[in-house]
């Protein structure tokens, strides 16, 4: 019997438009994108140019610092264009799909007998290694590292998140193959899966240590699970991977092809039909919104509403994202008495108790727009981050040490253990509207640079 860890801190943001448990195949996208900014810490070097023909698994670019880490095309077609931003930074490589389903073929491997080098090689060549992240720093993993352990979260807790049982439906054999493979890569502490307590989905999985977790968001964040099950110490490195990518790894090893499947939770109050949709990494978002057309007043989010990116109606599903959310834009001023700061606020969800909505039944869901509901201020209110931050770390003090560029302070206060996403709820709850996740990202980057 695995042990159960009960987490009390955190909060569920009760957004309207949760995906129903039904699942459909999304229409095939005409254009796919692989976006280098999705892979934090990677400086891309192109391997293709406009007009090149590619197959699923053909490399598009590689990482400048780790040339063996390839980023590959999710489908077959031709390179439509390379989108560049300021200073010619590569923002996306667009693939015009030919819908022929051609794929590069990779060797099949039996993960139980294959050695570390072979498995790592297969992951690197196919582009699957790009989906491995590391802690500390919450960046793309370095294949030269020997991680002490590999961690996988077995459930999502973010608002509007897809259900893992739907995501992995019919894929448990592939998932098991992937776990065996990761077992060859992980160090002495092996592979860990954080499971929602009472969930039987992973009960038969071998080759991994299961820990049960109970509690509100962000309990599903792998960082929270690591902190409570096997905390990361200074000088250690570990890897994390999303469960769906573990199943994709299983497919790679057993079938020899790169099939970056995504079952996304498509939802949000503006989504016409919130449900699970099966698609591929990098699909155009337009295929996942069930014909939603009011693009002017709607925010198209790739990822969850707390950590995702504002992709725009013409955007694409981010490589590490598993959700698409449509929320109303909040770009209209709010009059103080009707829906501003002096209003009764019967429709304002708040983790503070300054609006009466906290008295409403827990089942009530709210429509929230993207308005910041106030202006940015210095830190004033205290005791607001701690109740939604399930780490034995002082969040405000850590943030302040980052703002003060105090490298030594950040190290001591535990920055090694956290990722920006772990602070998403703090940012949500912040009365002073501070951009907490960005501060944490800056802090991690600063520390990485300092350590060289």
Partner 1 sequence: MKALHNILDSIRPHFEEGGKLSKFWVVYDSLETFAFTPGHTNKNGVHVRDGVDLKRTMFLVILALVPALLFGTWNQGHQYLLSIGDISLADPWNHMIWDKLLIGAWKVLPLVVVSYGVGLGIEFLFAGMRNHSINEGFLVSGMLIPLIMPIDVPLWMVAVAVAFAVIIAKEVFGGTGMNILNVALTARAFLFFAYPKQLSGEIWIHEVATSKADGLLVDGYTGATALGHLASTVGKPMMDADVTTVMGMFQPGGMFSFSNAFLGLIPGSIGETSALAILIGAALLIWTGIGSWKVMSSFLAGGLVMAFLFNLMGMNAYMTLPPIHQVVMGGFMFGMVFMATDPVSASQTERGKWIYGFLGGFLSIMIRVFNPAYPEGVMMAILFMNVMAPLIDHYVIQGNVSKREKRATLAAELRATA
Q: Is 4 in the site for partner 1 (CB under 8 A)?
A: no
Q: Is 329 in the site for partner 1 (CB under 8 A)?
A: yes
Q: Is 333 in the site for partner 1 (CB under 8 A)?
A: yes
Q: Is 355 in the site for partner 1 (CB under 8 A)?
A: yes
Q: Is 14 in the site for partner 1 (CB under 8 A)?
A: no
Q: Is 382 in the site for partner 1 (CB under 8 A)?
A: yes
Q: Between residue 186 and residue 215, which ones bind partner 1 under the rule CB under 8 A?
A: 188
Q: Is 98 in the site for partner 1 (CB under 8 A)?
A: no
The residue whose two tokens read 């959310």 is 325
Closer to partner 1 by Cβ: residue 277 or 396: 396
Q: Which residues contact 310 (CB under 8 A, 6 or more apart)?
A: 299, 300, 301
Q: Taking contact as CB under 8 A, which single stretch among the options 45-53, 96-104, 227-235, 247-255 is the one that binds partner 1?
A: 227-235
Q: Taking contact as CB under 8 A, which single stretch among the options 38-46, 80-88, 161-169, 321-329 is the one that binds partner 1?
A: 321-329
Q: Which residues contact 12 (CB under 8 A, 6 or more apart)?
A: 157, 159, 216, 217
Q: Between residue 140 and residue 159, which ones bind partner 1 under the rule CB under 8 A?
A: 159
Beta bridge partners of 211: 194
Q: Taking contact as CB under 8 A, which single stretch among the options 126-134, 198-206, 254-262, 333-341 is the one that binds partner 1?
A: 333-341
**Over 16-73, what HEC string results?**
CCCCCCCEEECCCCCEEEECHHHCCCCCEEECCCCCCEECECCEEEEECCCCCCEEEC
DSSP string, 187-208: -TT-EEEEEETT--TTTT--SS
Q: Is 408 in the site for partner 1 (CB under 8 A)?
A: no
Calpha distance 219→221 (Å, rounded): 5
Q: Which of 89, 146, 377, 448 binds partner 1 (CB under 8 A)?
A: 377
Q: Is 231 in the site for partner 1 (CB under 8 A)?
A: yes
Q: Is 403 in the site for partner 1 (CB under 8 A)?
A: no
Q: Which of 101, 272, 340, 344 binds partner 1 (CB under 8 A)?
A: 340
Q: Which of 15, 123, 167, 399 binds partner 1 (CB under 8 A)?
A: 15
Instruction: Please confirm whether the linkage preceding 218 is cis (ω < 30° from 0).
Output: yes
293: tokens are 């057309």
Calpha distance 256→252 (Å, rounded): 5
From 451, 450, 448, 452, select the one nearest 40 (Cα to Cα). 448
Beta bridge partners of 6: 214
Q: Is 386 in the site for partner 1 (CB under 8 A)?
A: yes
Q: Which of 147, 282, 390, 414 binds partner 1 (CB under 8 A)?
A: 414
Total chain residues near partner 1 (CB under 8 A)? 78
Q: Which residues of 293-327 are buried (b: 16+ CB within 10 A; e: fewer)?
A: eeeeebbbbbbbbbbbeebebebbbbbbbbbbbbb
43: tokens are 């400086």
Q: Is 436 in the site for partner 1 (CB under 8 A)?
A: yes
Closer to partner 1 by Cβ: residue 122 or 418: 418
Q: Between residue 290 and residue 319, which ones bind partner 1 under the rule CB under 8 A?
A: 299, 301, 305-308, 310
Closer to partner 1 by Cβ: residue 56 or 410: 410
């Amino acid at each position: 019997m695995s042990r159960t860890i009960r987490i009390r801190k955190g909060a569920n943001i009760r957004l309207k438009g949760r995906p129903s448990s039904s699942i459909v195949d999304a229409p095939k996208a005409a254009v796919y994108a692989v976006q280098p900014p999705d892979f934090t810490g990677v400086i891309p070097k192109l391997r293709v140019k406009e007009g090149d023909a590619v197959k699923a698994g053909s490399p598009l670019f590689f990482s400048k610092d780790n040339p063996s880490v390839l980023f590959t095309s999710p489908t077959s077609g031709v390179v439509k264009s390379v989108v560049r931003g300021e200073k010619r930074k590569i923002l996306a490589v667009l693939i015009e799909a030919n819908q022929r389903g051609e794929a590069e073929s990779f060797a099949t491997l039996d993960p139980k007998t294959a050695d570390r080098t072979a498995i790592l090689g297969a992951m690197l060549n196919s582009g699957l290694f790009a989906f491995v992240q590391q802690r500390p720093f919450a960046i793309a993993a370095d294949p030269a590292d020997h991680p002490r352990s590999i961690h996988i979260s077995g459930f999502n807790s973010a608002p509007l998140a897809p259900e893992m049982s739907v995501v992995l439906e019919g894929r448990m054999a592939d998932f098991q193959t992937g776990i065996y493979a990761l077992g060859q890569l992980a160090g002495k502490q092996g592979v860990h899966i954080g499971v929602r307590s009472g969930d039987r989905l992973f009960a038969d999985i071998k080759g991994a240590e299961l820990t049960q977790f109970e509690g509100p968001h962000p309990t599903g964040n792998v960082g929270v699970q690591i902190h409570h099950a096997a905390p990361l110490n200074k000088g250690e490195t570990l890897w994390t991977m999303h469960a769906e990518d573990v199943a994709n790894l299983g497919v790679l090893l057993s079938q020899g092809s790169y099939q970056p499947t995504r079952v996304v939770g498509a939802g949000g109050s503006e989504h016409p039909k919130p449900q699970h949709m099966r698609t591929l990494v990098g699909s155009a978002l337009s295929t996942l919104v069930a014909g939603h057309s009011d693009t002017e007043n709607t925010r198209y989010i790739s990822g969850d509403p707390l950590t995702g990116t504002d992709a725009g109606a013409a955007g694409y599903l981010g490589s590490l994202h598993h959700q698409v959310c449509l929320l109303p834009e909040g770009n209209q001023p709010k009059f103080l008495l009707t829906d501003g700061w002096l209003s009764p606020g019967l429709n304002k969800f708040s983790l503070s108790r300054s609006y009466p909505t906290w008295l409403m039944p827990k089942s009530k869901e709210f429509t929230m727009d993207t308005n910041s509901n106030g202006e940015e201020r210095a830190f004033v209110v205290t005791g607001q981050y701690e109740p939604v931050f399930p780490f034995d770390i002082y969040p405000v003090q850590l943030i302040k040490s980052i703002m003060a560029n105090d490298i030594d302070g950040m190290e001591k206060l535990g920055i090694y253990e956290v990722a920006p996403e772990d602070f998403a709820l703090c940012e949500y709850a912040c009365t002073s509207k501070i951009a907490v996740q960005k501060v944490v990202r800056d802090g991690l980057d600063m520390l990485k640079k300092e350590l060289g």
